[in-house]
Amino acid sequence: MNVLYEDNHLLVVEKPYGVPSQADSSGDDDMLSMCKAYIKRKYDKPGEVYLGLVHRLDRPTRGVMVFARTSKAAARLSKQIQAGQFDKTYTAVLVNEPAQKTGELVDYLLKDENMRIARVVHEGTPGAKKAVMRYEVLATQDGLTLVRVKLITGRFHQIRAQFDAIGCSVYGDMKYGRRDKKEKLALFASEVCLVHPTKKERMCFALTPMHFPFDKFEL
């Protein structure tokens, strides 16, 4: 496990590709359970270990993930998320290039529980939630586009669904993009910034994606 930061209140780690954030019907190892086991072993804690799931990353998404080690820290971080103070930045490689180098995408997403995807629908559609994100094109190479994404809202499959809606699906996306060639999803949670729940200091935790197709670009 790649631990980026750890104290009595926070645990910040790198979530690998293909690992669910929490236990699901697959029965596969998940980040929440693995991090609990890590704390239990390291500190020789008896009984059940508390660890709060502050936010989630899709199974095929790799990158920075934050957990709360106390219920007080979990509550304070949840309030930050609601207030827009918990900043998440992603790096992605897109198939095709957006029409604008920088932009803000505003859509309404409806989660399809059966297909496990999010669909862009008209405003006012029952059950739809507003989704907002900002992006910046960093580079283009061999028909691929490297972008930095700042999430304003945190909806299910938001980045993947919104980029696919403008014809620029995330490289390797088997749910929204090309389905004829299986590749790892080129979506990376590259930075999380938050206010420490007790120190009240602004902290940022970052990673740089180095695997294909990110390695086509200078990061």
| Annotated catalytic residue within 30, 58, 164, 173 | 58
The 3-state DSSP class for residue 191 equals: strand
* Cβ count within 10 A of residue 144: 18
In this structure, are residues 73 and 119 in contact, taking their beta carbons and an 8 Å threshold? no
Helix boundaries (H) for 14-165 = 31-43, 71-83, 158-165
58 part of the active site: yes
DSSP codes, 148-164? EEEESS--TTHHHHHHH
CA-closest candidate to residue 87, choices 43, 177, 148, 9: 148
In this structure, are residues 68 and 86 in contact, taking their beta carbons and an 8 Å threshold? no
Active site members: 58
